[in-house]
Each structure stands twice: as structure tokens, then as C-alpha cells.
Structure 1
Amino acid sequence: MSAARKFEEYERRLERGPARVSISGSGVYDGEILRVSGSARVEGDLMVSEVRASGSLTCVGSVKATLLRVSGSAKVAGDLKGGMVRASGSLSVGGNLSAEESLKISGGASIAGLVEGGEVRISGALRASSIKCRTLVANGSLRVGGDVECRSFELTAEGRSIIGGSLRAEEVVVRGGEARTVVRIGPLEISVSGRRKGFLRVGRVEGDKVDLEYVECEEVRAHRVRIGRGCRVTGNVYYVEEVEVDPAAVVKGQLVRVKGPHEGGCREGGDRS
């Protein structure tokens, strides 16, 4: 951030005044650190070095912290920006979520805007408008309205995952995990594994090395491609070096071999209809 931008942010903070923090239970807030065991409500924008909350955290504004660790429920009305973000339980962000170093979510997260950062690891369910990060490893469900862009993408899908736009990464690996059904019997919740595999539905997949199973998409473009079991491609598969299609997979279009980026043009095609 430039010096001018930092000064503007400082002026805005002075105009807003300090965040007002109400804590129910035990905790401490000294302007730099917020630690809560119980519940806390923050009125205004919170700018601190560290947030640790066990229980419930509600922020009527935006949050900026070098470290944010929440176990329980956290709701942020505005943007959430941090170096490292850890959320176990439920996380809701009304704006964008930025984790410069890493983001780890265990449970469920709903982000109204963009998710961006370095390493992103999801164990559970994530909803977002779009995702842009260095690496993404997810075991569970993804619901993304727009595009997903990263260097490495790995998904073990449980249930249905949807990417409304394109998936672009240097390396893409998608596997279908067991779909689980939660049955409630009185106060107990029992997770039952079924035979049906989880799957990913996406518009287009682009990458260098692409390895897909249980994926429904319109088109695939990559240097090396493997279309595995449970896949259905309604359009063409474009590849540069090699392609492999499982006998149980469906490719409605053609397998089109193209020249490298410095050569251009198509070389050959094969009908798979």
C-alpha cells in the first residue's frame, strides 16, 4: 500500500473513531488485541493485530487483523482482511475475504464477495462469489458464482459442488468423495455414507495438467488431460501433449489436439460423439 493510501486509511479511521466492543463472558480488548471466550459484538470497523474468539463474534463493519482465529460462529458485515485466517464452525462475511498468507476453514463459510489469498484449505462447505488464490485444497462442497483462479486446485467433492464460471489453474485434480447424509435422531446427528459420489459442475476447465473425475463441464483446455470416470463433457477437449478418456466417461464433442502457445493452430481432432 502506498504512503498516500495509508494516510487516507488513517484519516478514515480517525473520522470513524475507535470500534465499540461489547463482550459477554470473559475477554479483553485493548485496541490491538481482541480475545473473547463467550460472545462479542463490535460496532464499527475493527483494526487490530490479533483476534481470537471462542463462541460468537459479530462485527457490524469490517475487520482487519494480522491473525484471526475463530472457533464457533463469526459474522462480519463488511470485508474481512487478514494475514492468517482460521475459522472452525460457521463464518459469514458480507463483503470480500482476503487472507494474504493462508485461510483455513473447518465447517461452513459464506462469503458474499471475492475470496483471495495464498493457501486456502477447506474442510466442509464454502460459498463465494469468486476465488483467486495461490493454492486451494478442499474436501467437501464448493459453491462459487463466478470464476476460480489459482496455481493449484484440488477438490474431493462431497455432494454437489458448482463453479458458475471457469476453473483456471496450472494443476487441477478433482475427485468424487462419498456423498454423506446427516440423519437426526433426537439429540443425535448420524452421518451416513452413501454409494453416490460427490461431483463438480463447472463451465470450463483450463490448466496445464488436468485430472478429472466426477466432473460435468462444457469444455476442457490443457496441455495434459485425463477425463476419468463419472465425467461428462458437453463440448470439446483441447489438449497439447496427451489426453486420456476413461471408457465410462462421456465426451460429447471432439478431442482436439492443438499446437503449443508459440506455434498456434489446431493439428488434429477426433470425434467422440
Structure 2
Amino acid sequence: MAKPQRRTPRPASPLVKAPVRIGTLDATALVGQLRHLHETAEDPDVERMPADGELYAALLYLEKHAGALKRSPTEAQRQAALYRVRLWEYLRERADIHQVQAVSDARAAGAEWGHLAPELAVAAPSAAYNKAKRLRAAALSDGTPQQIPLRRTPEAVIAAESRLAREKAAEQRALATAQQRHRLLLPTAQRLVSQQDGLVLDEEAEYWLDEVEAVLSNCETPTQMMSLSRYLSAVIRALRKLEQRTGRPAATTPDAKAALAAAVALLPPER
């Protein structure tokens, strides 16, 4: 029976399984634990060990002075070596992310891919481009555990960058809409309050309109603006219920109708 052929995944398709990473790590605290192990072992040079925050230099010291732990219990020696393995892996992961930023800064400063090829230890501009894209996969996945794992291929990174660009554009549009709504909220609420004589109000609608009017007298902070938005929404809700109950429009004058229509158009639809 012929073996089924393995299908090569598309270069831009997401990984089925997320790669295992060290991810977030308190490296300074871990170096501090290693320092403590060396102090306990009476390492004669431990005072020359770099500061806990100087990860690379501290790891070089710990590697050079690993023999100082020979008089420590085997478990302590093993734990110290495992800590070093974890810290080197963490440093490797961080190096990818920081190298991507360096490449990005070089490109922004006008460096061509040909200039970057020797710096990335590759032979051609196209290889530099591809390597930079592969490194970018690590940066795109950094600190985002919910993100779809990326293949380390240029195609996967380009697809992810395109998706992130679309998401960022959507966020910017939503922010611009919210800022515009925020600018119009105060005058829209003032306009509706000024036309209350042209509105048919029941007890609920009148209560919320009074709340709107009270906030309007001193509405400056984001919290006050949020309260104003909620109260204005409550007025519209109460007027809509009144219209459904009576079968008559809540606004009786052209100006009141225009003010109410402006308030309805300004506030986001309720879910």
C-alpha cells in the first residue's frame, strides 16, 4: 500500500501548534538567584560578578566561574546550569526582537538590503530581506499569547503585517469617530435641553433630561462626559418608549425634532 503523500503547508498559513517559548521572564531575579548560589558556594570572585540587570555580562561571568560551585550539592549545580540554559534561551528570543528593531531603524535611515546583507551574515540583498522577515515573526508574536502563531517565512510575516495594518487602520477610524462624537456631545446635549418645551415628556424622560441639564453645568472631565453620554442615551430611550406607548411623536416642533434627530445620530446604537 502506497504511503500517503505529506502535503507541504502553504508558506503563509498559520502554524497548527504554537512554538514553545520562554516568553516573559524576570531575568534580573533569576540572575539574583544564581548570584546567591555562588555566594553560598563561597565563590571568591563573586564580588566581581556584573549587576543582576546586566544579563549578557552576568552570564559570561557565571559560565567562566561555574567551577566555583563544585563544592555545592549536585542539585545546586544542576539548578544553576539549568538557570543559565533558560537565561541564554531568553536572551536568544529577545535578540531576535531587538535585531528586528535595529533593521527597521537602518531601513528608516536609508540603508539598502545590500548594506544589511553582511550585517545579517548573509550573501545577498534578497537573503537579507528574507532573514529580516523571518526575524520579524518573533517580534510579531512577542507578548501576544492570543495571537495566531506565525511560520518563520516571509510570506507568513507579510500576511500578518497586512492583517495588523488593517486592524490598526480600523482602530484609528474608530478612535477618530469617538473623538468626533466627543466634540459634538456637549453642543448636541445643550441643543436638546434648549428644545425641551417642544418635547412631550413623561416622568422618566423628564428625570433623565434633568440629569443631562445638571451635568451640562460643569462637564469637563472624561468621567463627566461619559455620564452625559449615558444620560442622553437614557433620554432618547425614554422618549422612544413614550412614542411606542402613545403612538405620537415625542418632538412637536421642527427645532425639537431636529435636536432629537441630532442626538440619536450622534450616539452609537444600543445593542
Please give the range of the TM-score, normalised by the shorter of the 2 chains: under 0.3
TM-score (norm 2): 0.24
The structure with the largest helix share of the pair is: 2
The structure with the largest strand share of the pair is: 1
* Structure with the greater alpha carbon radius of gyration: 2
TM-score (norm 1): 0.24
